[in-house]
A = this chain, B = another copy of it.
């Protein structure tokens, strides 16, 4: 008997907070702090990955897995891995040599709470553990599925994905990017991991290419909408709401969707992307309602 996820009656906010709670409890179990001096890096890893946050990526893993009736236990292993990779990327991006951020999700960033060396190592440890978790038989009984998860996450997170996107983002402070270049930057930097989060359910279920591509299409549009909304929050949000300084992109001299399109056109673009994202889910009929609500949420959120 496999335990399934959520009844059909669950609302999106309930499902989102339930995804966060379940994922955090799996992460807690995976990141038990050992006895030795290395305990410090485990503490920093826990600090980074268990920090307050929406846990949107774990939610996407769980909601997409639910479309296929994937066992909750398997989906949660993947959700924990994805959140570890997300947290690692934030820890490294926040470093003094990168974005030099003191505040993240309303708390001191990892290198401010610990120190820079520990933050580098905590990021390295989280990234490595994500692959250890995916390759674990607990994640799926079929090693071919586990290998595909490892390979897809590595492609999304690596130099051809998230790492490459962050490289472009750093160079973007010294160059003027056009809308095409910014779209590509964001597809790599944030889109690839969001796409993996959505596709992982299809991988776990060995679903057809058609269904997998539908989820990829959804994730692609969702990821861009999410990023535009982030840029709008950087301009329009308050530090109390977003947990980070307002106007930090402009201060860094970065071109964003908002600096190029203006706030009104950027908002219209985000809303168009959400409609497109939702349209990709037609194949899944009523079962995809949570994912549709998630798409609407990303452009209306205040933090």
A160 close to chain B: CB less than 8 A: yes
Q: Is the CB of A41 within 8 A of B159?
A: yes
- List CB contacts (< 8 Å) of A152-181 with chain B: 154-155, 157-160, 163-168, 170-172, 175, 181
A289 close to chain B: CB less than 8 A: no
The interface bits of chain A over 3-42 (1 if a CB of B lies within 8 angstroms of the residue's CB, else 0) are 0000000000000000000000000000000101110111
- List CB contacts (< 8 Å) of A133-161 with chain B: 134-136, 142-144, 146-148, 150-151, 154-155, 157-160
Given A129-B154, A143-B143, A158-B132, A163–B116 Cβ distance below 8 Å?
no
**Mostly helix, strand, loop or mixed at chain A's interface?**
helix
Q: Is the CB of A38 within 8 A of B159?
A: yes
From A118-126, A249-257, A259-267, A294-302, the one touching the partner chain is A118-126
A117 close to chain B: CB less than 8 A: yes
Query: Which of B92, B147, B167 is within 8 Å of A41, CB to CB?
Result: B167
Q: Is the CB of A128 within 8 A of B36?
A: no
The CA-CA distance from A132 to B159 in the complex, in Å, is 11
The CA-CA distance from A275 to B250 in the complex, in Å, is 63
Q: Is the CB of A159 within 8 A of B36?
A: no
The CA-CA distance from A125 to B124 in the complex, in Å, is 11
Q: Is the CB of A121 within 8 A of B38?
A: no
- List CB contacts (< 8 Å) of A87-146 with chain B: 88, 92, 95, 97-98, 115-118, 120-121, 123-125, 127-129, 131-132, 134-136, 142-144, 146
CB distance from A147 to the nearest CB of B (A): 4
Instruction: Closest B residue to A89 by CB, please name it.
Output: B124
